[in-house]
Amino acid sequence: MSFADEQWDHSSKSNQSTPPAGSNVTMKRPLDVVIFGATGDTGSAACRLLYHHATKLHVNTWAPAARNLDKLQKNVLQPLLEAASGEPTWSTPIQADSNDLESLVQMASQAKVVVACAGPYAQYGEKVMAACILAGTHYVDVTGEVDWVNIMSKRYNNAAKERGVSIVSFCGYDSVPMDLSAYLAADALRKSGDSASIIETFATSHTKGGGGVPTGTINTVLRMVNNIRYKFSFGLLGTAPSKIVRVGPEHNGLVTGGTPLLTPRVKKLTARDGKYNGATYRSELPEKYVYSSPHFMAGINMPIVHATAEKMNFSNFQYHERSLSGGRRAWENADGSVLTGYLIPSIMRYLTYLAAAPFVMTPFFERLVWFFVKRANSEGKDERDEVGHNMVQRLMNHGETTGYVGVKGYGKGKKGSFASTNFECDFDAGIGFTMLSALAIAGCLTKKAVSKGENGFQTPVCAVGGETLRSALSDAGVRVSVEVRKSASSARSSL
């Protein structure tokens, strides 16, 4: 029996390396959830949320995992206990290294779900994903690296289905609020006897002080910038991008190959809507015109929205994703003026791009980015405590909320019906909400059967179901509502 089989089938006398169809191997695991990369920004946030809110997230048993357990204890667990004046609620921390497949399989074999928090995922994520497939463990991450996930799905989707596990990326701010809002609007229209022709979402957020910019996300962006610099300077500037290579023979015969998460049709619709989204400035809301700017995450979220729509058999709707400033008061202050609602924000954005362009082609760009990230994460001042925690981390240590995420959406049907959605959470977008969302999805997956020939790579909405995800987020404190009306003059009916 191979190493993978030993990890898969602890108690069975059979040598089979995949579970029988319909079986639910993960229900026998001692842990519901393992947080891998628990010393990083997002991983440590997950630990804090589980410490204070595990019951609301439907997680009963969990453990943090990291390469350096001393750092985990000093920088994450001990400050959390001191702030909360409590006792540990986690199981024994697990040592695992993103470069050591064996340690990752041993880690994954103990849990029903692994929440992977070590990024950039193109650099650190593949072995964690492979380990979960080998161990028959559901996998969740919060990456926004669309191309990487698509490569992984083409490489391992067959293996994931053979082992019966769900591989679920994009479980944070990119792309749950927008994808769920679009799904709920399209589903509401379908239930009313109509089908969506246009769906728009409008995002706004704010943070209570610094700390809402994960360093892993910044490293991901900087890797992309370096690749662009290298390409357009014909190799004279930057360093050559690292190739995403197979982990190798230690995968113990995992079936390779599979369909991509983003099909050619999804890519085509994304390209079509991306062009319009960047050019338009006015929504098509029936009540009033709202001038806005493209949401900066639209390039990540739009293909996920279309991937979900394709899987759920929705019609070929247009999808636009917009951004409003103002946080909680964004919609109260939504200006109907093209000058202040679109032109000024857009001009400022493009001027910023223009000013940054020369720096992008130099090594000084990385220094500039980290300078601004440091300022943002420490409220413009270096206000950190003795272990270096910023405001968001300190708030989460005490179990408090960290900001606000709001997404309003609407859908217009081909027969004239309208659907509207509202999505609100009292956590910042980058870290607080991102990990609350990922953990809510993980909580759902702890109850999902591992069944041969099923699951595989899926968007969050498809992996757990739109209504299940809505319910799980509601239990976690996210406010989600949907309304539909047959025409502009008819009364709204709550769904």
Per-residue pLDDT at 355: 72
Per-residue pLDDT at 288: 64
Strands 293-294, 196-207: pairing is unpaired
Per-residue pLDDT at 158: 93
Per-residue pLDDT at 234: 66
Residue 212 has pLDDT above 70, yes or no: no
> 33 or 335: whose pLDDT is higher?
33
Residue 348 has pLDDT above 80, yes or no: no
Residue 427 has pLDDT above 80, yes or no: yes
Residue with tokens 């300077």: 233
Condensed to tens digits (0 to 9), the pLDDT of residues 81-137 reads 999 999 999 999 999 999 999 999 999 999 999 999 998 898 899 999 999 999 999
Mean of the pLDDT values across residues 294-322?
93
Q: Measure the CA–CA gap between 149 and 2, rounded to whole angstroms.
A: 27
Q: Which of 476, 434, 442, 444 is nearest to 62 (CA)?
A: 442
490 burial level (CB within 10 Å; 0-12, 13-18, 19+): exposed
Q: What single-letter DSSP state applies at residue 291?
A: B
Indicate the residue type of 272. R
CB atoms within 10 A of CB 487: 10
Residue 1's pLDDT band (cuts 50, 70, 90): very low
Q: What is the pTM of this model?
A: 0.87
CB atoms within 10 A of CB 118: 24
Residue 323 has pLDDT above 70, yes or no: yes
Per-residue pLDDT at 19: 44
Q: Which of 80, 147, 160 is nearest to 303 (CA)?
A: 147
Residue 195 has pLDDT above 60, yes or no: yes
Mean of the pLDDT values across residues 393-399?
93
List all residues 6 or more positions away from 82 whose beta carbon is below 8 Å from its beta carbon: none
Least confident piece of the model among 415-424, 440-449, 484-493: 484-493
**pLDDT > 70 fraction of the chain, expressed in percent and rounded:** 79
Q: Which of 69-73, 229-233, 333-337 has the highest mean pLDDT?
A: 69-73
Between helix 215-232 and helix 41-53 the angle, nearest 10°, is: 150
Per-residue pLDDT at 251: 57
Residue 339 has pLDDT above 90, yes or no: no
Condensed to tens digits (0 to 9), the pLDDT of residues 135-191 reads 999 999 999 999 999 999 999 999 999 999 999 999 999 999 999 999 999 999 999
CA distances from 192 to 182, 335, 490, 492 (A): 16, 31, 13, 12
Per-residue pLDDT at 168: 98
Q: Which of 54, 56, 149, 46 is nearest to 433 (CA)?
A: 46
Q: Measure the CA–CA gap between 370 and 386, rounded to whole angstroms.
A: 21
Mean of the pLDDT values across residues 290-308?
91
Residue 365's pLDDT band (cuts 50, 70, 90): confident
The domain 3-174+430-475 is placed in CATH, from the list 3.40.50.300, 3.40.50.720, 3.20.20.70, 3.10.20.600, at 3.40.50.720
Residue 487 has pLDDT above 70, yes or no: no
Condensed to tens digits (0 to 9), the pLDDT of residues 7-42 reads 333 222 222 334 433 444 445 899 999 999 999 999
Condensed to tens digits (0 to 9), the pLDDT of residues 42-53 reads 999 999 999 999
Per-residue pLDDT at 383: 56
Q: In this structure, which long-range contacts are made by residues 485-493, counting pairs with CB atoms below 8 Å and at least 24 apart in sequence?
A: 485/417, 485/418, 485/419, 486/192, 486/416, 486/417, 487/416, 487/417, 487/418, 488/286, 488/418
Per-residue pLDDT at 223: 72
**pLDDT > 90 fraction of the chain, expressed in percent and rounded:** 60
Mean of the pLDDT values across residues 380-400?
76
Mean of the pLDDT values across residues 395-399?
95
Mean of the pLDDT values across residues 290-315?
91
